[in-house]
Amino acid sequence: MSNFIKRILVVTIACLSSVACKQNSESSTDYSTLAVVDQMTAELTAPPFVPKPIGNRKATKLIVHMEIKEEQGEMADGVKYNYWTFGGSVPGSFIRARVGDEVEFTLKNHPDNKLPHNIDLHAVTGPGGGAASSLVAPGHSKTFNFKCLNPGLFVYHCATAPVGMHIANGMYGLILVEPEGGLPPVDKEYYVMQGDFYTKGKYGDPGVQPFDMTKAVEEKADYVVFNGKVGALTGDKSLTAKVGETVRIYMGNGGPNLVSSFHVIGEIFDKVHIEGGDMINTNIQTTLVPAGGAVIVEFKVDVPGTLILVDHSIFRAFNKGALGMLKVEGKENGKIYSGTTQEGIYMPEGGTIQNMPKVANGKEVIVNKTLAQQMNDGKNIFSNTCFACHQSEGQGIPNAFPPLAKSDYLNADIDRSINAVLHGLSGEVTVNGKKYNSVMTSQNLTDQEISDVLTYVYNSWGNNKTRVTPEMVKTQRAKPAVKAKDMHE
């Protein structure tokens, strides 16, 4: 072996030894004996927001007050659910601490609540993660203390029996324990947490939906959502950033059952803190987040547009609600992303208009509904049938599905709209000056249902307030299906 190669080996071994020693030194720090120098009340935030960074502050006594509230909320348009919450939100309030902090945690159970609850924080070293010391009845409070020994992003949840039911009703959240000196600064930080919900009715069934224990045990979720409800991160509730900014998302999975395949369509994670810990992976497309686990992802946004957050177990995103948006504003960069440079025809669902499976025709009961009744029923049908592609405010998905809001295409021809629902639509259309080339399948809906959902669409989001009747639909149904080329003209 040459002296040159020997020298390289010596230097390499020395460097590796230095890194290993540094890591061992950091991991062996005994934070249990670290003295605190001050006292402060913790800032708690509701999702998607997070408290301000810790920075380089010294370890302190951190006072946390958290209230449990049982309250009814909206799971989806027209769908109500009785949530159990930490701090009045699902997920619960975000807690931000640092290693060495002594946390004095007071858990309050609101007097109007019906059930006892407690809290298990995965950041706690001790029996039940605090659950053993925090079981609290309605109208009472419990206080316990713990020391933050390990940096990382940790889940907390209720651990009162039946544990799965308490978690399934929304009782989970995140606590971030920053390392000494804090995390590196970024431009934007957001709090997103996935959960699976189990209801007596199917997805989109209207009214108050109670929890279904049988579905939960069988892990057959009706809803898989970000931040507690369908559309929590869409429309005017979307996350925002500007071109050139670095975004950090604290992503947790409350479960209680399903693993999340977290992905942001149109971005690559520059850094992923695997399972919320010290190990960082780079250049990641999709990252697994286990039930009861968390991850920190960071990425720089380079071009403007709407990025779509999904669970890449993809039917959960487009059919059960696990979909959010990050809207990026700023200057285009054609070198990174050019947009369309050539137009052609590509039918991912096949070369013909697709048809939904037909069911046996039953006798449809037509009633003389009021406009208010049509709007209410139409909204429920929209939430169950149209939401995934056209979104909660009819805004569509850029470059994929056209908007229904203030749609010149819809407002110009009502019969054409009815035919699109009856027979499907494929090929290029121009809506509000932009071209779209995708496929809409025919919908297996009754004349009354089609009239209701189109009435809802036409009377929402700045459209022309047309009222569609079942008779109008029946007339179009009796005619031969419109050829695709004629439907676009």
Find the mean pLDDT for residues 17-31: 55
Find the mean pLDDT for residues 344-354: 51
Compute CA distances 133 → 86, 124, 292, 450, whole Å. 17, 12, 20, 55
CATH numbers and ranges of domains, the chain: 31-178 (2.60.40.420), 188-329 (2.60.40.420), 371-487 (1.10.760.10)
Residue 438 or 182, more confident: 182
Q: Is the pLDDT of residue 217 over 60?
A: yes
Q: Please tell me the distance from the alpha carbon of residue 65 to that of residue 62, in angstroms, as a whole number.
A: 10
Residue 484 or 72, more confident: 72
DSSP string, 439-466: EE------HHHHHHHHHHHHTSTT----
Percentage, residues of the chain above pLDDT 90: 76
pLDDT 10s digits, 107-160: 999 999 999 999 999 999 999 999 999 999 999 999 999 999 999 999 999 999
C-alpha dihedral (441, 445, 451, 456), degrees to nearest 10: -70
pTM, to two decimals:
0.72
H-type alpha helices, 96-189: 131-134, 163-168
Residue 488 or 409, more confident: 409
DSSP state for residue 211 in the 8-state scheme: B
DSSP string, 186-241: -SEEEEEEEEEE-BSSPTT--EE--B-HHHHHTT--SEEEETTSTTTTSGGG-EEE
Q: 139: how many CB neighbours lie within 10 A of its CB?
A: 11
| Residue 426: both structure tokens together | 């494929």
Q: Is the pLDDT of residue 26 over 50?
A: no
Task: Answer yes or no: are the C-beta atoms of 229 and 199 closer than 8 Å.
Answer: no
Smallest CA-to-CA distance from 224 within 130, 330, 332, 309 is with 309
Task: Answer yes or no: are the C-beta atoms of 415 and 476 closer than 8 Å.
Answer: yes
Q: 35: how many CB neighbours lie within 10 A of its CB?
A: 8
Task: Answer yes or no: are the C-beta atoms of 193 and 227 closer than 8 Å.
Answer: yes
HSE, CB side, 13 Å, CA atoms: give it for residue 280.
10
Q: Is the pLDDT of residue 485 over 90?
A: no
Q: Is the pLDDT of residue 23 over 50?
A: no
Q: Please tell me the distance from the alpha carbon of residue 221 to that of residue 206, in angstroms, as a whole number.
A: 17
pLDDT 10s digits, 77-120: 899 999 999 999 999 999 999 999 999 999 999 999 999 999 99
Calculate the CA 269 to chain-centre distance.
Answer: 17
Find the mean pLDDT for residues 40-45: 98
Which pLDDT value is given to residue 436? 82
